[in-house]
Amino acid sequence: MSSVAEDARSAALHALRTLHGEIDREADRLANEHAERLRCGRGCSACCLDDLTVSPVEAELIRDTHPALLSEAEPHPKGACAFLDEEGACRVYAERPSVCRSQGLPLRMFFEDDVGEIEEHRDICPLNVEGGPSLASLPESSFWLVGPFELRLTAIEDDFLGEASGEDARVALRSLFRAEGA
């Protein structure tokens, strides 16, 4: 790899780690606010779905940080995320993808309806519905807003991929394991 390519790769991985830190701080703030209702914790893997795909830069971070796991360990059996261990804990937790970092929290999303009107949608993991106020009664600041962090991830991805950025390449987490990706 040329030094220019290595510099771009290093910059993208640094930007991704910085973004993950910001996501974690916001997710922690919301988790503390909703502590009475959140059932998420080590071993809860209801949202850890099989066939999850991530951006190439997030796949690269996992490859960069966990080479022994990827070459020596087996993925979790099909039916759940390849990175779960036998107790349902994430084996790449510190480097888990962005999408995994806000799971379980109250979410706020905006969609354009059939006539071009913007609609708000609020949602939460079914395991976390009870134990707190209704989603309709919560202020906007009590939600994870889907979009802003994802747009920043896309910008990092564009920098990482360079000219190939228009391809929207996704990487299956299961494919990162040597045995699965071969």
26-59 pLDDT, tens per residue?
999 999 999 999 988 777 888 999 989 999 999 9
pLDDT: which is higher, 181 or 51: 51
Is 175's pLDDT higher than 80?
yes
Helix axis angle, 3-33 relative to 148-161, nearest 10°? 170
Q: Average pLDDT in the 141-157 region?
A: 96
Question: What pLDDT sits at residue 167?
Answer: 56
Is 182's pLDDT higher than 50?
no
What domain range is 79 assigned to?
Answer: 3-181
Separation CA 116–CA 94 (nearest Å): 40
Task: Give Cα 109 distance to the centre of its chain.
Answer: 16
Question: What pLDDT sits at residue 124?
Answer: 95
Q: Is 154 in contact with 6 (CB distance < 8 Å)?
A: no
pLDDT tens-digit profile of 99-110? 999 999 999 999
Residue labelled with tokens 């971070």: 61
Question: What pLDDT sits at residue 22?
Answer: 98
Number of domains in the chain: 1
Is 85's pLDDT higher than 90?
yes
Q: Average pLDDT in the 88-94 region?
A: 94
**Quick one: CA torsion of 135, 138, 140, 144, rounded to 10 degrees?**
-50
Is 181's pLDDT higher than 70?
no
Strand pairing category for 171-172 and 53-54:
antiparallel
Q: Average pLDDT in the 100-129 region?
A: 95
The dihedral sign for the CA sequence 100, 104, 110, 111? positive
Question: What pLDDT sits at residue 163?
Answer: 58
Of 71, 73, 91, nearest to 81 by C-alpha is 91
Separation CA 94–CA 101 (nearest Å): 10
Question: What pLDDT sits at residue 172?
Answer: 94
pLDDT tens-digit profile of 14-23? 999 999 999 9
Of 153, 96, 146, 103, nearest to 127 by C-alpha is 103
Of 50, 103, 40, 100, nearest to 80 by C-alpha is 50
For 24, 101, 137, 167, 175, the CA distances from 10, given in Å and listed in that order, are 21, 22, 44, 21, 22
Q: Average pLDDT in the 109-122 region?
A: 95
Average pLDDT, the chain: 91
Largest CA distance in the chain: 54
